A and B are shown apart, each in its own frame.
Chain A
Amino acid sequence: MPGIINRRAVRWLRGQLPELVAAGAISSENAAAIERHYGSVESRTNFGFVILATVGAALVGAGIILLIAHNWDDLSRAARTVIAFIPLLVALALIGFVLMQRNESRPWREAVAVFDMAAVATAISLISQTYQVQGTFDSFMRVWLLLSIPIVYLLRTTFGAVVYVVGTIVWLFDHWGILGGQQNPNFAWLLLLLVIPYFLLRYRQDCDSRETTILATVMLLASVMALGLTADFTKADLGCIAFAGLLTGIYLCGMKFFPRQDERLHTVALLGGIGIGVTAIVLSFEGTWHASHTLSWDKRSGSQNLGLIIELLFPVAAVCLAGWDLIRKQWRFSLSAAAFPIVAAIAWWIARSCDSSTDTRCMFAGAAVINGYMLLLGIDILMRGIRTHSIARANFGLVLIAALAVARFFDSDLSFVTRGLGFIVVGAGFLFANIVLFKKRVPA
């Protein structure tokens, strides 16, 4: 039947290629062409199948747990212990089989990896229940994550890596939930560091694939959450600079490492850009700069100081990344977006230059710097949108300007007439920019 591919036959044919080349039946160019042909066919059909296989494995794992949980009371402790290990032993046997026989099949690798991760969790929880082990969810997650990460590398599983990163987020919030700002979240950075080499491998292999984008996105979300909790934990009042650094870094990485032929942004750059906009809006409120719970160096613990170093790492890395491209004159990013960590640092320095309890002028000045910056950023993105005929980008620039106007509507003492005029100007800007862009697009 045309269009349907017999995978077993394809696997056989691909296995035969080296022999055929050695025997002189086909040239190595022919072999490479055949390899390319079936490789591309497989990658086209794999994504949906991988998802289905992974979901299937997760459901089988969950089903086994439910089956075991039923009638559990009637079993002896020894029987329960044996049963607790069965899913894990099956999963390990399947991993052995995949490594020996199906190492090139992504659906097999992904599904078996997710099944093994579920089986490890099952074994630990059932043993804990059987033996009345009094661990916390926090320690359970930590052990589970550390036992699961080798599987990500062993089976080269992107969905396994996604599950691992989501697990890290769950750990972070559970760990944080117990005592709030007193809990040390630095372990989350170690957990995230452990998955980065895999991400780099994935990136080198196929930076444009959906799987790489999904993994990058969950890693970014985890980093943002971890940074928020780290900033709260370190009590250094540097969260604004750290966030500006992280989000700018994400934007710059998106632009540099995920370039696109068309003018659209890659998801990573887009998320970074949105993050920059949202952070700038938050920092444009004067009230944000009041929040201060700074501890001096000597009162801060070792892990709080480590958290502080982690916080500072992001703005430094973002500035270096932007600086490197600027020196080599090879930048594609928006200069105003790239300047965000520096602007945030200047605003922070101004806001902290007078005593916040007696004098609020410095905080007002800090917020004013961000307001000015945000206006500039909005105009820059709008202009880039108009230049590149990108309606989405132009509107994002306008959204930033409108958000700034709305924010000032609520917290400034401007008269209603001035506010009204401001809204009319922004609204007219929206209409004008969109009309111009649509007119430019129609002839094209």
Chain B
Amino acid sequence: MKTLRIGIFVLVAVAQLAVPASVAWKREQTFAHGRIWKLKTAPVDPVDVVRGRYIWLQYAISEFAQSERADWKSPIYVVLKEDADGFAQVDHISQTPVSGDNVVQADAGGWSDGTQSISFPFRNYWVTEKIAPRAEQAYRENSRRGKENAYVTLRVCNGDAALEQLFIDSQPLADYLRAQDAKK
């Protein structure tokens, strides 16, 4: 009986460790080997930027000119390309699975007047409690119309898309906040 209990415990322990570990491992692979993309963020609604301890990101490429409406019931595959400034642009949207380090799986949003809205799955940028208010303010100030000075880097590898870093004024968020503190 005791042996059985220990055996079950070992299985449970492996499961409890494996779930977070597999997430971490997959993301480590994406960060190490994934192709890097820069996504320009879009101006935000100033009221609802931080919910809890994450910044709610919006992307400039969330709107894509397309004559036909994408089926919202199934996932869409957004094929990316780089523009002259090195930022990601949407090349085309596919309803059938496409593989490659330039493809991101997303959900189709609404469609109107030839514009397809894309709901990317990487919209929460987690920050800690300590820096959340300042991060919110920095992101808001640098994502206004007329001062669009924020972007994120995204790593794409084997279908996994991982947000790597939020850049504000061409600096990683933490460095930007530190520099702002030093100025005061």
List residues 122-167 of chain A with CB under 8 A from any CB of chain B: 123-124, 126-134, 143, 147, 150-151, 153-154
A228→B80 CA distance, assembly (Å) = 44
Q: Which of A96, A99, A147, A153 makes the CB contact (< 8 A) with B16?
A: A147
How many contacts between A and B, using CB within 8 angstroms? 89
Question: Is B128's beta carbon under 8 Å from chain A?
Answer: yes
Encoded as 1 (CB less than 8 Å from any A CB) or 0, chain B from 11 to 36 comes to: 11101110111011001100100000
A101→B181 CA distance, assembly (Å) = 53
Q: Which of A123, A132, A153 makes the CB contact (< 8 A) with B126?
A: A132
Q: Is the pair B121, A130 in contact by a Cβ cutoff of 8 Å?
A: no
A259 to chain B, nearest CB (A): 32
- Inter-chain contacts of A103 with B (CB < 8 A): 2, 5
Q: Is the pair B8, A143 in contact by a Cβ cutoff of 8 Å?
A: no
Residues of A within 8 Å of B, CB-based: how many?
Answer: 36
Q: Is the pair A92, B17 in contact by a Cβ cutoff of 8 Å?
A: yes
Q: Is the pair B17, A154 in contact by a Cβ cutoff of 8 Å?
A: no
Question: Is B72's beta carbon under 8 Å from chain A?
Answer: no
Q: Which of B16, B130, B162, B174 makes the CB contact (< 8 A) with A132?
A: B162
- Inter-chain contacts of B162 with A (CB < 8 A): 131-132
Q: Is the pair A147, B122 in contact by a Cβ cutoff of 8 Å?
A: no
Q: Is the pair A95, B13 in contact by a Cβ cutoff of 8 Å?
A: yes
Q: Which of A69, A88, A116, A130 makes the CB contact (< 8 A) with B24?
A: A130
A84→B21 CA distance, assembly (Å) = 10
Q: Is the pair B122, A73 in contact by a Cβ cutoff of 8 Å?
A: no
Encoded as 1 (CB less than 8 Å from any A CB) or 0, chain B from 100 to 140 comes to: 00000000000000000000011111101111000000000
Q: Which of A70, A73, A126, A133 makes the CB contact (< 8 A) with B174?
A: A73
Encoded as 1 (CB less than 8 Å from any B CB) or 0, chain A from 262 to 305 comes to: 00000000000000000000000000000000000000000000
Question: Is B168's beta carbon under 8 Å from chain A?
Answer: no
A100→B3 CA distance, assembly (Å) = 10
A123→B16 CA distance, assembly (Å) = 9
Known: A123-B20, A134-B123. A99 touches B130 (CB 8 A): no
Q: Which of B5, B11, B121, B126 makes the CB contact (< 8 A) with A129?
A: B126
Known: A95-B9, A99-B9, A132-B163. A73 touches B131 (CB 8 A): yes
Q: Is the pair B16, A120 in contact by a Cβ cutoff of 8 Å?
A: yes
Q: Is the pair A85, B27 in contact by a Cβ cutoff of 8 Å?
A: no
Q: Is the pair B122, A81 in contact by a Cβ cutoff of 8 Å?
A: no
Q: Is the pair A147, B121 in contact by a Cβ cutoff of 8 Å?
A: no
- Inter-chain contacts of B130 with A (CB < 8 A): 69-73
Q: Is the pair A92, B24 in contact by a Cβ cutoff of 8 Å?
A: no
- Inter-chain contacts of B126 with A (CB < 8 A): 128-130, 132
Known: A99-B5, A154-B9. A134 touches B131 (CB 8 A): no
Q: Which of A89, A129, A150 makes the CB contact (< 8 A) with B12?
A: A150
Query: Can you list 22 pairs linking A and B with CB atoms under 8 Å apart?
Result: A69-B129, A70-B130, A77-B31, A85-B20, A88-B16, A89-B17, A95-B13, A96-B13, A103-B2, A127-B24, A128-B126, A129-B126, A130-B24, A131-B23, A131-B27, A131-B162, A132-B126, A134-B122, A143-B19, A150-B11, A154-B5, A154-B12
Closest 7 A-B residue pairs measured CB to CB?
Answer: A131-B27, A132-B163, A129-B126, A127-B20, A150-B12, A123-B20, A72-B128
* 12 additional contacts (CB under 8 A) given A73-B130, A128-B23: A70-B130, A81-B24, A85-B20, A88-B16, A96-B13, A100-B6, A127-B24, A131-B23, A131-B24, A132-B162, A143-B19, A154-B8
